[in-house]
Chains A and B, each alone.
Chain A
Amino acid sequence: MWAYIIKRLIFLIPILFVVSILVFLLIHMIPGDPAVTMLGTEAANPETLEAMRKKMGLDQPVYVQYGIWLQNVLTGNFGKSISSGKTVMDLLSERYPFTVELALYALILSVVIAIPLGTLAAITRSKWVGFIFQFFTLIGLSLPTFWSGIMFILVFSVYLRWFPIVNFPSLADAPLENLKAFFLPAITLALPNIAAIARVVRASLLDVRQRDYVKTARAKGLAEGIVVYKHMLKNAMIPIITLIGIIAGYLMGGVIIVEHVFAIPGLGRLGVESITGRDYPLLQMIVLFGVVSFVFVNLIVDVLYIFLNPKIRYD
């Protein structure tokens, strides 16, 4: 297991290296002169502009610029945000906890809601329950996240006034209020994932239902609950875990939308702000940070996967 983790970590190095080149080049390709953006109206003076370009290293060839940038990033010097004047490092560490919390909250809600739902749909003999399950999971997969978020705000915040809008205390300051404030955004982000996971839970339970060991368990006279939990669910877990792993990654994209809709001061919203404000040094680090987090989430998922499933050994 440790050998596998170390091997994966070593494999990460070339991927992260290529990713860093791509992120650098992508942001480099955005039209417009960063020195002009930095100077604003002062850019009218050609001498000031030239001095700024020199100061920012823009007169150097691209590969030299990349080298300087990479060195800065690796030593923790992420540069300064143009629009706010704060260092990018400060902004990231200020905003990142909100994003991580939202994604984890949504992931937990998805799993906790989807597994019982899918199980119920698999073991029921009622045609109606089956039909309602199919109907709602298909709808859940078809709703745009930003729209369901707005609908939740309309119903639960505007009409019913159950949840506050635009007030997100940090988890450390006020844990209960924080969990309440984050509930609507988290359930919004979870909605399509609940549908996706519940469908896979149902399908893989139906798959193991016919297996001999399940029939044997029933024939032994075990209680239905034990058969479902011990013999069916545990064996149906592999495809479910695979999907949960994929979803953990997709949540990283979903947070951009949900943070935007609910005005949560997280990394995703900061990213959208940096686009509208043409704050490219900030955008660059957010993209890099997002990709690196995503790569590590995938690694964690793969490791959990072998941990939970002793049948698989990556050698």
Chain B
Amino acid sequence: MTSQQKVVTTIPSGGREKPKLYQLFFRNKKGLIGFILLVTIVFLAVFAPWIAPYVPTEMHARDRFSAPTWDYWLGTDFYGRDILSRIFYAFRISLYIAFAAVIFAVIVGSTLGIMAGYFRRLDAWIMRSMDVMFAFPVLLLAITIVVILGAGSLSAILAIGIVYTPIFARVARGPTLAVKEENFVEAAQAMGAGSSRVILRHILPNVAVPIFVQSTVELATAILFESALSFLGLGSKPPDASLGLMISQGKDFLEISPWATVFPGVAIALIVLSFNLLGDAMQEVLDPRLRQKEG
């Protein structure tokens, strides 16, 4: 919490130039740690084929259930596969599914939310259908969608994306309603700007920040969501390395080789933690009230 105190004292009382948002963000300790953590994970995921000590599906029959050693830093599983290498590859799947799902939800959700806020006639229709979606418990709806589409990465993306769509519709609708009433929008309309121009030039920039903050929060939950689906056997298929699947396979041999279950869980927690840190930092930086309160 000392970090926030520093942030507050660096806000100039006069004279000096106001620090940019991203500068405030990196002076925030949570923001900095979260950023470094995420960059590291993304690096490991992208360069997995070059960094990972073994091929993730390679089975070492003699070294089944090996405890962590110099050869296998995090041990091996039931098939003698290297857990560290599998975690690097699993980072790819987790990040890919979470990002794709959240991007889907951001595009569809904010389009619906902006349309609902901007066009009076559509408002009731769009928001009532979002309410119906909110009536479903999220995990139950996602599971049902995956069962319909058949288990796999693409189904997981669609399921999580659809479930998150109403969240972004709500986040986008609020600022749209507010901005629509502003003088500069009325002026633009009076000068003959069409709806698409007003939305792109005036509404979108105002919706972008809350959507961005919300996406960071939802990326954290999407990672947890994906791992839960693959834990239940509804995500990526074996022999692909997916963190949830690794835990579900490892749990049957908990007493012989706890590491096969422990480390993938730590890996999930680290990705989620990095997004949570970033989300916290963004909210603290963007909300000046929070900035002082935290001090």
Contacts and interface: CB of A to CB of B under 8 A. Distances in A.
B276 A138 contact: yes
Given A150-B254, A294-B137, A271 B261 contact: no
B102 interface: no
Name A's interface SS.
helix
A290 B137 contact: yes
A147 interface: yes
Contact of B220 (A142, A260, A294): A142
Interface in A93-152: 127, 130-131, 134, 138-139, 141-148, 150-151
Most buried by A among B136, B272, B277: B136
A256 B148 CA distance: 18
Contacts of B231: 144, 146, 257
B6 to A, nearest CB: 13
Q: How many B residues are at the interface, by size bracket?
A: 35 or more
A252 B134 CA distance: 13
Contacts of B144: 26-27, 283, 287
B137 A19 contact: no
B218 to A, nearest CB: 13
A29 interface: yes
A151 B244 contact: no
Interface string B222-247: 00100110011110000000001001
Given A158-B254, A294-B137, A19 B280 contact: no
Contact of A256 (B135, B139, B145, B147): B139
A15 interface: yes
A291 interface: yes
Interface string B245-272: 0011001001100100110110011101
Contacts of A153: 254
B228 A154 contact: no
Interface string A177-212: 000000000000000000000000001001100000
B250 to A, nearest CB: 8
Nearest to A153: B254
B228 A145 contact: yes
Nearest to A260: B232
A22 B2 CA distance: 51
A253 B224 CA distance: 13
Contact of A131 (B1, B264, B294): B1
Interface residues of A, number: 51
A134 B1 contact: yes
Most buried by A among B135, B143, B269, B294: B135
Nearest to A157: B254
Interface string B138-167: 111001110110100000000000000000
A148 B261 CA distance: 10
B198 interface: no
B293 A206 contact: yes
B190 interface: no
A249 B139 CA distance: 11
B135 A142 contact: no
Contact of A154 (B140, B143, B258): B258
B138 A144 contact: no
Contact of A257 (B132, B228, B272): B228
A272 interface: yes
Nearest to B150: A31
B293 A203 contact: yes
A294 B136 CA distance: 7
A275 interface: yes
B265 A283 contact: no
Contact of B136 (A19, A27, A127, A147): A19
Interface of A: 15, 18-19, 22, 26-27, 29-31, 127, 130-131, 134, 138-139, 141-148, 150-151, 153-154, 158, 203, 206-207, 249-250, 252-254, 256-257, 260-261, 271-272, 275-276, 283, 287, 290-291, 294-295, 298
Given A142-B276, A144-B228, A295-B135, 6 more contacts: A141-B220, A142-B270, A143-B268, A144-B265, A271-B140, A276-B233
